[in-house]
């Protein structure tokens, strides 16, 4: 069983300034729920109960969000608005939340390594909350799909999707041998390649399942693209000596790290989730 799920949330969110000047980008709402809560709910639905956050300066609001606010509870008791807190209350009561700080921004690989003391010697999932994923009602979420594969193959897995050739420079891009429909055994990975250097158009999105040997590999991984320690480079090393899978998930993903993706996700949630629930 994998129990632990890590959320690297130390990034500055500069693309959303000035909104993110005094507020973490992960707390920006998609309709009426912070972006990061959707990621936690996806993980909880996939069976995760222990959540670790790699935070940074200015990110205290994330800790407060996953804690009880007694003052607020007192204020709204008997007001008829209690139901608005049901989703977050359920998450708080049924799961545990732990936080550690990344005090220098040295890349996603470094952020994941910072979470080592929260994860221990266990396989774990990583969710990048910026990548907001939805699936058909009644079907498994993206992380739940990946957990099923992990239980079968017991190795690291990254979620992938096809992207246009002129967007490979935004992602880690893989090459692999097809094992079955939508599942590849990784043979190559490049972080944010230009189209002519991209080994395919299959881009990694922010869902990973990692085996704990990745930590020692990250420690040995030299800074790569943009001078940052890249999880992509560490995973390629892991793939050379074992098996790393890439899974073309079923569902739709919105890049909420960009204004366009954020607005598209907002429209999607408003039409397909919020209005339906009214
Ligand atoms: C990170 C990873 C990249 C991956 C992407 C998914 O990049 O480094 O390999 O494709 O997340 O969202 P970032 O978007 O943090 O620059």
CATH code assigned at 149: 3.90.550.10
Domain range for residue 156?
A: 4-277
Which of 204, 224, 248, 256 has most ligand 1 atoms within 8 Å of CB, for mutation? 204
What pLDDT is recorded for position 111?
98
What pLDDT is recorded for position 249?
98
Strand-strand pairing, 252-255 and 131-134: antiparallel
d(CA 275, CA 278): 5
Which residue's CA is the nearest one to ligand 1's atom 6? Answer: 205
What pLDDT is recorded for position 33?
96
What pLDDT is recorded for position 102?
95
105 contacts: CB under 8 Å, gap ≥ 6: 10, 11, 12, 56, 228
What pLDDT is recorded for position 181?
87
Closest C-alpha among 130, 272, 126 to residue 210:
126
CA of 107 to the centre of ligand 1 (A): 10
Which of 206, 208, 239 has most ligand 1 atoms within 8 Å of CB, for mutation? 206
CA of 192 to the centre of ligand 1 (A): 8
Q: Could you tell me if 235 and 158 are in contact, meaning their C-beta atoms sit under 8 angstroms apart?
A: yes
Domains: count for the chain: 1
Closest C-alpha among 133, 167, 97 to residue 250:
133
What pLDDT is recorded for position 82?
83
Count CB-CB contacts under 10 A for residue 36.
25
pTM of the model: 0.96
183 contacts: CB under 8 Å, gap ≥ 6: 149, 245, 246, 247, 248
Q: Could you tell me if 193 and 171 are in contact, meaning their C-beta atoms sit under 8 angstroms apart?
A: no
Exposed/middle/buried for residue 120 (C-beta within 10 Å: 0-12, 13-18, 19+): exposed
CA of 82 to the centre of ligand 1 (A): 37
Q: What is the pLDDT along the chain (278 residues), one digit of tens a residue?
A: 899 999 999 998 899 999 999 999 999 999 999 999 999 999 999 999 999 999 999 999 999 999 998 898 898 888 888 888 888 999 999 999 999 999 999 999 999 999 999 999 999 999 999 999 999 989 999 999 999 999 999 999 999 999 999 999 999 999 999 999 899 999 999 999 999 999 999 999 999 999 999 999 999 999 999 999 999 999 999 999 888 999 999 999 999 999 999 999 999 999 998 998 77
């Amino acid at each position: 069983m994998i129990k632990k799920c890590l959320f690297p949330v130390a990034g500055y969110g500069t693309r959303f300034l000035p909104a993110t000047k005094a507020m973490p980008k992960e707390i920006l709402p998609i309709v009426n729920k912070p972006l990061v809560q959707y990621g936690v709910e996806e993980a909880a639905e996939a069976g995760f109960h222990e959540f670790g956050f790699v935070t940074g300066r200015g990110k205290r609001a994330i800790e407060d969000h996953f804690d009880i606010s007694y003052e607020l509870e007192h204020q709204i008791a008997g007001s008829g608005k209690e139901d608005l807190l049901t989703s977050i209350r359920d998450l708080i009561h049924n799961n545990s939340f732990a936080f550690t700080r990344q005090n220098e921004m040295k890349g996603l690989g470094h952020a994941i390594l910072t979470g080592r003391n929260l994860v221990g010697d266990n396989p774990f999932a990583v969710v990048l909350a910026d990548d907001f994923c939805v699936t058909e009602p009644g079907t498994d979420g993206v992380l739940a799909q990946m957990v099923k594969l992990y239980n079968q193959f017991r190795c690291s897995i990254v979620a992938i999707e096809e992207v246009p050739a002129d967007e490979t420079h935004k992602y880690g891009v893989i090459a692999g041998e097809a094992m079955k429909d939508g599942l590849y055994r990784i043979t190559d990975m490049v972080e944010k390649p230009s189209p002519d250097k991209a080994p395919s158009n299959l881009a990694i999105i922010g869902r990973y399942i990692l085996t704990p040997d990745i930590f020692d590999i990250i420690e040995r991984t030299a800074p790569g693209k943009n001078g940052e320690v890249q999880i992509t480079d560490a995973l390629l090393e892991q793939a050379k000596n074992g098996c790393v899978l890439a899974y073309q998930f079923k569902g739709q993903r919105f890049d909420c790290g960009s204004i366009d993706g954020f607005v598209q996700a907002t429209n999607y949630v408003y039409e397909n989730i919020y209005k339906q629930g009214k």
